[in-house]
């Protein structure tokens, strides 16, 4: 899985062709994480809906076959856009994942884009920052940065510089 910025769709044939069905998908989630750099530390912030409802990240996928036809792979990318105010102000990040509004799920999954060179553009009106006023963010334990840690408590809010928490990495 990788991230793909909207700007690459029209200029990168491999990604742009993914917007042709069956290449679009949504990933249901209840939150996503972005990090703020603080010196050598990476401080993780969780972003979720204020009402704690699940939401969908927008992405593309493509089946890839190596030129020698010995390897096949399904590749996936979450589409990113410029961040909304909450992500930008909290983390200083230059991107965030596309969040597809519930009312747009059917259109997102049914949209057909003829592809690069067609003179048409992908459904970019759906590829935009989500409304920041509908989201919340909180700092979490930096242990979430290590894939060996896998417990629900990692998503619990912590105070900045809480003893034994943020200074671990």
CATH code at position 107: 3.90.1680.10
pTM score: 0.77
Task: Name the helix (H) or strand (E) containing 42.
Answer: strand 41-49
Q: Is 125 helix (H, G, I), strand (E, B) or coil?
A: helix
Backbone CA torsion sign across 101, 139, 90, 97: negative
Mean pLDDT of 39-66: 91
pLDDT tens-place string over residues 18-43: 455 456 788 999 999 999 998 988 89
**Mean of the pLDDT values across residues 143-155?**
93
Mean pLDDT over the full length of the chain? 81
Rounded to an integer, what distance in angstroms lies between the CA atom of residue 84 and that of residue 91? 11
Residues spanned by the domain of 53: 2-168
Q: In this structure, what DSSP letter does residue 107 have?
A: H
Q: Give me the number of domains the chain comprises.
A: 1
């Amino acid at each position: 899985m990788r991230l793909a910025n909207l700007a690459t769709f029209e200029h990168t044939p491999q990604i742009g062709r993914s917007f042709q069905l069956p290449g679009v998908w949504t990933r249901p989630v209840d939150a996503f994480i972005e990090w703020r750099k603080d010196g050598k530390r990476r401080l993780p912030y969780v972003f979720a809906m204020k009402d704690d409802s699940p939401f969908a990240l927008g992405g593309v996928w493509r089946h890839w076959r190596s030129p020698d036809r010995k390897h096949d792979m399904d590749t996936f990318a979450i589409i990113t856009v410029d961040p909304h105010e909450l992500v930008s102000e909290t983390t200083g990040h230059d991107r965030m994942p596309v969040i597809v509004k519930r009312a747009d799920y059917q259109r997102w999954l049914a949209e057909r884009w003829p592809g690069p060179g067609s003179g048409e553009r992908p459904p970019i009106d759906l590829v935009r920052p989500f409304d920041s006023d509908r989201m919340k963010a909180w700092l979490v334990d930096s242990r979430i940065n290590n894939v060996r840690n896998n417990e629900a408590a990692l998503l619990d809010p912590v105070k900045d510089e809480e003893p034994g928490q943020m200074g671990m990495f």
